[in-house]
Amino acid sequence: MGDLRNRGEGTWGLVLTHSCAQRAEFLRNNWAQWRDIFYKQPIDTIRYRGHRRGRRAQFGGPQSVGRLSLGVPGQWEGAQFGGPSQWGRLSLGAPVSGRAQFGGPWSMGRGSVWGPQSVGGLSLGVIRGLFGGPRLREARVSSSVCSLAKLEPVAPWGLGPRPDVSLLLLLSPHRNYFGEKVALYFAWLGWYTVMLVPAAITGVLLFLSSFSLFHASQISKEICEANETIMCPLQDHQHKYWRLSETCTFAKLTHLFDNEGTVFFAIFMALWATVFLEFWKRERARTAASWKLYGWDEDQEELAMELLNNPAYELQKHQHSYLRSSAILIFSLVLICLLIGMAHVLVLYRVMVTFFFSHSALPFLEQRLTTAVVITGALVHYIIIVVMTKVNKKVALKLCDFEKPRTFSERERKFTIKFFIFQLFTHFSSLVYTAFFLGRINGHPGNQVKIGGQWRLEECHPSGCMMDLFVQMAIIMGLKQTVSNCVEYLSPWLTYRIRKLREWPQGRRLHDPNLEEWLKNYSLNEVNIFSLFDEFMDMMVQYGFTTIFVAAFPLAPLLAFFSNLIEIRLDAIKMVRLQRRLVPRKANDIGTWLQVLEAIGVLAVITNGMIIAFTSEFIPRLMYKYYYGPCSRGSNVTADCMTGYVNHSLSVFRTKDYKDRIPSQRTEHVTECRYRDYRNKVDYSYSSEFWFLLASRLAFVILFEHVALCGKIIAAWFVPDIPQSVKNRVLEEKFENLCKKLRLSSRVTDV
């Protein structure tokens, strides 16, 4: 069951909303109902309170129930009411002074699918109905239940009596106040941030080394010098040809992210993800062992709390309904299809915006058409992410309600998986389209695929689609790490300030300093079961951006590193200064999030392999270098092996084959134009080079995935999950316990 005595001296407070006379009158007239509430009414709505500002919590002591307070000041202090002796003394003036232990999950009441009816390891029959019971709420007596602690002053931080936020970065004080679950979140976040350092350094070095090829790339030189290469119109409504040399700058920028170093960095990040997880498992094992929670079992703890609260508790066995599971699967697939449909909405948006921007009176939009479309599309995608995140959470909760999990921990696992899958499709569906479908399903000049028969799909730049993917990722991830972080901190800060001004006006003072401090902290923002969950989910999404599409955005680890430095500080300030204290919960791991991280690692290997094979120009350049270029024949070794690659990668289209004649805006008559594809000149069917490249791309994906996954397996095997020191410590404890049992058994036998 684990160690149940590692929690502390806490207090519970009930904040009342009516005046003293009204509250006392309610107690006198409804004492019989109050007594029934003690025994019969389940918890319905419970809100709990945070710490006191500028104080440090100390914990320790056995589970017991002391005096109960209803927060009524002044003349009612010391009043007592009759009742069962086990309730102790019921007073109306002092804070609840009792000793509480927190070992299990938070519950919302009997019959609730959130879990056992307990507040951590706190088994108080008084809580059943007294705090937030329906009759108290109907009488408008109770407002909130608060989880407090015995506090002592600490040194001031800054200019005012602020808490020492840096204490949260040390696990022991953090664990003692917020519990192991919150402490493990900060431990994992700190470890993740430290491990981002080598990934960020490698990404920056790769990016800087690419600048050496900014002017030296043979492909960029050919594009910049292609003054005589006439390209087909990118859009039907533009009705004009253009020269390939007009995209010289874009080609140079694309080569910064699409070069030979991309393959190395993708393999490096696959191994990095494995090493990060393996070393985190070791760190987690050391931390859990130091907390004496190495062998702690959450399911056993929940059962123990159920038995403590209700000795007649009947075990709820595991059940499975294929009908319910099928319904949940079908509904989940429907929502996933809806999320994928959002990507199609973005495609339609980009096509329509391209049309309107091309007809804009602003020359800048017409000249920077592709860039403007990509940027605005990324902004729209971010707005969709913000909206759908709220929808995904509600849908995942409803699915969990329908599934009826047996315990709180089981519900938490199922909810985590569902919500993460929905978030995965929400954040990455548009990126998948840009990476693997943009410019590949639009046909060829004279026979383009059109939406509604009039809007032609976008095409990639002759240098590829990597630049589009990079810009979209940079904008979405940048907004997630800046705007979302600002809203995450400013929203509770503004709410706290407004509540403080509304509920605690200036000049208001109470005679009881404890009650004054209590009511001041009542103005802090409420917390719920999602307070820590949302923090984990944000980090999982960031980890996905850092690994899944890192081949197209090598600066993602650097951006994540600086974001996490701020995130750790903001989370600490928010939990200490702006929110009520989270109910402490035991934990010896980050739970289902570890499986989520492992799934992201595998998905990252597959995605990066496909990006290198299908999105970048790595495979076509490699095939040209060794099969079609000047170096393939073994002659003319003085020339660059990529000479002629641009001309080789462009197909020819006869302008007379256009259904509608396109006016040439040029002095010379254009008979042929070029476009990016591998097609025959006669009938525009796919050429033999196309099929050879397709086979080479598929072979590379298989080879890359096997090499990367084998590297991950070897790294996981080479780095043990549990350090030898932890294994030896656990072995010594087992040996000592066995010796004690044997000595005790021998004494009993002698007697």
The DSSP-derived string for 496-519 is HHHHHHHHS-TT---S-HHHHHHH
Distance CA 620, CA 622 (A): 5
**Whole-model pTM?**
0.75
Residues facing 126 on adjacent strands: none
**Within the chain, which residues score under 70 in pLDDT?**
1-174, 235-239, 357-369, 453, 503-514, 516-517, 633-637, 660-668, 747-751
Strands 55-57 and 90-91: unpaired
Amino acid at 358: S
Distance CA 194, CA 135 (A): 51
Distance CA 551, CA 206 (A): 11
> Which among 394, 582, 552 has a CA at the least distance from the CA of 473?
552
Where are the strands (E) in 491-614, listed by range?
A: none
Residue 160 CB contacts under 8 Å (≥ 6 apart), including other chains: none
Distance CA 485, CA 45 (A): 30
Residue 159 CB contacts under 8 Å (≥ 6 apart), including other chains: none
Amino acid at 491: S
Per-residue H/E/C for 97-138: EEECCCCCCECCCCCCCCCCCCECCECCCCHHHHCCCHHHHH
Residue 83 half-sphere exposure toward CB, CA atoms < 13 A: 20
Question: Residue 142, Cβ neighbours under 10 Å: how many?
Answer: 23
Instruction: Tell me the per-residue pLDDT of 486-530, one tens digit each, with 9 for 90 and over.
Output: 888 888 888 888 877 776 655 556 666 667 667 777 778 888 777
Residues facing 243 on adjacent strands: 230
The whole-number pLDDT of residue 700 equals 92
Distance CA 61, CA 38 (A): 25
Structural tokens at position 219: 């492909």
Sign of the C-alpha dihedral, residues 59, 65, 71, 74? Answer: negative
Residue 167 CB contacts under 8 Å (≥ 6 apart), including other chains: 56, 173, 174
The whole-number pLDDT of residue 122 equals 31
Distance CA 392, CA 421 (A): 9
Structural tokens at position 26: 């309610």
Strands 64-69 and 90-91: parallel
Are the CB atoms for 403 and 414 separated by under 8 Å? Answer: yes
Distance CA 646, CA 246 (A): 14
Number of H helices and E strands in the chain, helices first, is 23, 15
**Distance (Å) of CA 405 to CA 45, 409, 414, 722:** 20, 9, 8, 31
Instruction: Tell me the per-residue pLDDT of 118-143, one tens digit each, with 9 for 90 and over.
Output: 333 332 333 333 333 444 444 444 44
**Distance (Å) of CA 302 to CA 3, 33, 43, 397, 594:** 13, 31, 17, 21, 21
